[in-house]
Amino acid sequence: MQRVCFLLKVRADRVEEYRERHADVWPAMLDALSGAGWGNYSLFLRDDGLLVGYLETEDFDRARAAMDATDVNARWQREMAEFFEALDGSAPDAAMRPLEEVFHLG
């Protein structure tokens, strides 16, 4: 199982709305994530907008490609893009750069 952790930056003036949007994620999006192999997917948000994401999957590249193939993901990413800093034209999910795992107590 591959553990993936990544960082993104939510615009400080959009933090509360970002939290609200994630309190009620579309059921079709939840189904797509599960179906694509995104297990134990969590997002943690600091008040200044630092977003830490974590998930477990068999193959992150394959799981991301499976999500890229869904219409619901394209719609979600378009709606969420305005919440983030420094995407440089990328969708939020394309901007996820996994951090190197240096320790795991397993």
Q: What separation in angstroms does the CA of 35 have from each of 39, 54, 63, 77? A: 9, 17, 9, 17
Domain that holds residue 31: 2-95
| Residue 105 belongs to a domain | no
In the prediction, which pLDDT does 101 show?
A: 95
> Looking at the domain assignment, is residue 102 inside a domain?
no
**pLDDT at position 84:** 92
Residue 100 lies in a domain: no
Q: Is residue 106 part of a domain?
A: no
CATH code for the domain in which residue 51 is found: 3.30.70.100
Domain count, the chain: 1
Nearest one of 44, 66, 49, 48 to 57, comparing CA atoms: 66
Tokens representing residue 71 in the block: 């219409």
Query: Is 22 one of the annotated active-site residues of the chain?
Result: yes
Residue from 22, 46, 62, 75 carrying the catalytic annotation: 22
The one-letter amino acid code at 48 reads D
Q: Is residue 101 part of a domain?
A: no
Amino acid 42: pLDDT: 98
- In this prediction, residue 31 carries a pLDDT of 98
The parts of the chain modelled with pLDDT lower than 70 are none
Which strand ranges, in their side-by-side order, compose the sheet holding 2-9? 2-9, 50-57, 39-45
